[in-house]
Structure 1
Amino acid sequence: MLAPAPPAGRRAEARLAFAVAGGCTRLVRQHVPYPVHVTRPFHIEAARPGLATLYLQSASGGFYRGDDVALALEVAAGAAVHVTTQAATVVHDSRGEGCRQAVSISVGEGAFCAFVPDPVVMFPGAAFASEITVDLAPGAMAILTDGVCRHDPGGHAAAFERWDGATVVRDTAGRVLLADRGGVDGAELAGPRSPLGCYAAFGTALLLAPPDRLPAPVAIEAAVAAHGCIAGTGPAPNGAGLAVRLLAPAGGALARAMDAVFAVGFEAMLGTPPARRRK
């Protein structure tokens, strides 16, 4: 008798909803199936005690062949939340069958949402697709980051298979304000002909807010340069905010640079620098 075929991969959809209750942003609903895990929300901002910080965790050690993980964040009107990860997330050898993470974020009127995960780490043979969709109500503000680095734990500089990324930002009428899509084969980044040059990690950050709540591009680029990385900052389409491209020598430097972008954006949007987030 033949053994049953292995499953194609895990399917999971986590849903988190935040709203103001008792003067603070609370996690009011949650559905968190394996492999997603979350901590309790922390309120660590002395100047903004109502803002919640939530850490996402992986109970499985990263993404594996065939994984299809979805995350839905709903931030109600007036709420303020920062969602990050406990560390970088590893994408393992996909053995010809890629994996995917789809994140949908709804930010209510006058609300603030920062979705700033650490970079994904692409192991040799990894194929990964990242999809982020954001719906912004009037007066809503958001900070988004999406970072990638390559790493061969065997020390042979073997390439990952493929990375694809897509971010779409819409208003409440469904009008697309911004659509950013790209992808690259790992082999294109291997060796001296890599378009990244000497850099091993790359990322994008979006700061979505009215013009008077945005930082100066030079402030963003200076903050990134302090971590040995480079950034190019320009206006996002349709007056949505600012778009930032980042290059870093390694994943750790990219994570610190994205945190720096978050800090600059946080202060411009909320009027106070963020407290330190320990990981």
Structure 2
Amino acid sequence: MSGRLDLAFAADGDGRSYLQRQYAGYPFHVCRVHYYDREHPGLATLYVQSCSGGIYEHDRLDVTLATAQGAEAHVSTQAATVVHSMPSGSAAQRVRVQCEGGSYLEYLPDPQILFPGSRFRSVIAVTLGGDAVALVSDSFLCHDPAGRGEMFSAYFSEIAIEDDSGKSLAIDRLKMGGQAFSDSCPGISGRFKAQGTMIVAGLDLSANAVAGELRKIRLDGDVAIIGSSLLPNSAGLLVRVLAADGAALKLALHQVWCAARVQLKGSMPLERRK
């Protein structure tokens, strides 16, 4: 199955962001725009739902998210996405994030749940104009419903950042097999069965200040750990999270998001319900 989602946000004369353009083909469904943040009443929040019950073998999904100058948006999914077992093939999703100067976008989907035998490729390409800022995340957790110690087959993740001239600024790639998370390889992932990446991308932000805010986060090291690195070409900050399970991963990523929002926008995001 091939599915396409195309969303574009713009700001009206009062600085309130709205969904200027939308196309949602199966399996995507777009909910109405919400405005949750009291401190930033013009920031649009949008949830994207799936009508298919997950990602299946041979699925090819294509997503485009764009923000015009002055637009501010938070885009997420309704819940974690199941990546089903795949006897012989694979599935892939490509996300294009295009931010004009003076815009702000958070693309923070819930994790992928990798079933035994699944093969999934995730690529997120971020294009930044001027002083635009984009927060993007990609995360997953292992799930073995039968309890037989089976793991996913392959997972590939790439997040690439470029400026509006097409110059490549930073690329983060992960490629791994499920054996890295099995109990037979304790030295690789240890007790952690879930992993997440969040990138705070921007050419005109203080990545060190964001990193300093992250250092205020306090987590039980047996449940989750957080590390960060400055991106090359002053493109922002990369944050990696390792967690024991999906609940710990979600909590840690939420705290990373809150820390970044405080530094970037001056206030905590209002709690969202899903």
Secondary structure, counterpart of 1:225 in structure 2? coil
Partner of residue 189, structure 2: 196
How much does 1:111 deviate? 0.4
Residue identity opposite 2:95 in structure 1: V
Check 1:244–1:93 CA distance in 2 against 1; reply closer, same or farther (3 A cut): same
1:237 pairs with 2:232:
yes
Partner of 1:262, secondary structure, is helix
Letter paired with 2:29: H
Verify the 8 A CA contact 2:96 2:126 in the aligned structure 1. Answer: yes
User: Which TM-score applies when normalising by structure 2?
Assistant: 0.94
Give runs of ≥4 in structure 1 deviating > 4 Å.
Answer: none
1:221/1:147 CA distance change after superposition, 3 Å: farther
Which of 5, 8, 27 is matched with 1:17 structurally?
8
- Deviation of the 1:264 alpha carbon: 1.0
Are positions 1:50 and 2:38 aligned together?
no
Checking the alignment, whether the CA contact within 8 Å between 2:170 and 2:233 is kept in structure 1 is: yes
Q: Indicate the residue corresponding to 1:257 in structure 2.
A: 252
Q: Which residue of 1 aligns with 2:214?
A: 220
Distance 1:116 1:59 in 2: 19
Q: Please report how far the alpha carbon of residue 218 of structure 1 lies from its aligned counterpart in structure 2 after TM superposition.
A: 4.3
d(CA) in 2 for partners of 1:93, 1:155: 15
Conserved in 1, the CA contact under 8 Å of 2:28 and 2:50?
Answer: yes
* Segment drifting more, 164-173 vs 191-200: 191-200
Deviations 1:115-139 (A, max 9, x none): 1111100001110000000000001
Q: Distance in 1 between matches of 2:75 and 2:101?
A: 18
Q: CA deviation at 1:154?
A: 1.2
2:200 to 185, 203, 207: 207
SS of residue paired to 1:252: helix
The residue number in structure 1 matching 2:265 is 270
TM-score under structure 1 length normalisation = 0.93
Q: Which runs of 5+ in 2 are unaligned?
A: none
Q: Cα 1:85–1:221, aligned 2, differ >3 Å: closer, same or farther? A: farther
Matched-pair contact (CA < 8 Å) for 1:19–1:76:
yes
1:148 counterpart residue number: 140
Q: State the SS of the aligned residue for 2:255.
A: helix
Q: Secondary structure at the match of 1:258?
A: helix
SS at match of 2:189: coil
Q: Is the 8 A contact 1:75 1:106 kept in 2?
A: yes
* Structure 1 residues 163-218: Cα deviation after superposition (integer angstroms, max 9, x where no partner): 00111100011111111112111123212414111100011111123343764424
Count matched residues.
270
- Any conservation in 2 of the 1:204–1:244 contact (CA below 8 Å)? yes
Cα gap change, 1:226 to 1:211, in 2 (>3 Å) = farther
Q: Do 1:44 and 1:53's aligned partners in 2 also have CA atoms closer than 8 Å?
A: yes
List runs of 5+ in structure 1 lacking aligned partners.
1-9
**Does 2:110 correspond to 1:115?**
no
Alignment match, 1:65 = 57
| Contact 2:213-2:260 at 8 Å conserved across structures | no
Contact 1:207 1:214 in 2 (8 A): no
